[in-house]
């Protein structure tokens, strides 16, 4: 079943250069992370401002690296969210369950 999902994901996306995939995988392995949704918030409990569910984030050490990460994500047909500073670094989120699943399949990361 996982192999079929991976096949469908790779067939539905445009050809992405192997160098882009390798660089995204290296960035994720370095200090990227996945944020699953908080079920309580998705269920409608709380203040109602929470709209996001699944997301993954890549961390950049500088604005130059952030720009590089955003370009890589666009080349891989992802829509980067609004980056934000986090300490002395920058965090680049990408939102959506489908985007997360496609990213993990693309970099072959099953246990994120």
List average pLDDT for each run of 10 residues in the chain, which is 112 residues long.
57 79 97 84 55 87 98 97 96 95 86 50
- Give the model's pLDDT for residue 110: 47
- Give the model's pLDDT for residue 103: 96
Which residues are CB-contacts of 38 (< 8 A; sequence separation ≥ 6)? 50
- Give the model's pLDDT for residue 53: 78
Q: How far apart are CA 52 and CA 87, in angstroms?
A: 22
**In the chain, where the domains are located:** 2-106
For residue 10, what are its two tokens? 């790779």
Q: Which CATH architecture has domain 2-106?
A: Roll (3.10)
């Amino acid at each position: 079943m996982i192999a079929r999902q991976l096949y469908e994901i790779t067939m539905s996306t445009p050809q992405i250069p192997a160098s882009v995939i390798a660089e995204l995988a290296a960035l994720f392995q370095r200090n990227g992370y996945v944020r699953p949704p908080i079920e309580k918030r998705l269920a409608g409990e709380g203040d109602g401002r929470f709209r996001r569910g699944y997301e993954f984030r890549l961390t950049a050490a500088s604005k130059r690296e952030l720009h590089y990460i955003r370009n890589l994500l666009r080349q891989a047909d992802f829509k980067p969210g609004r980056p934000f500073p986090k300490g002395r670094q920058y965090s680049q989120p990408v939102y959506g369950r489908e985007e997360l699943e496609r990213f993990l399949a693309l970099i072959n990361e099953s246990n994120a």
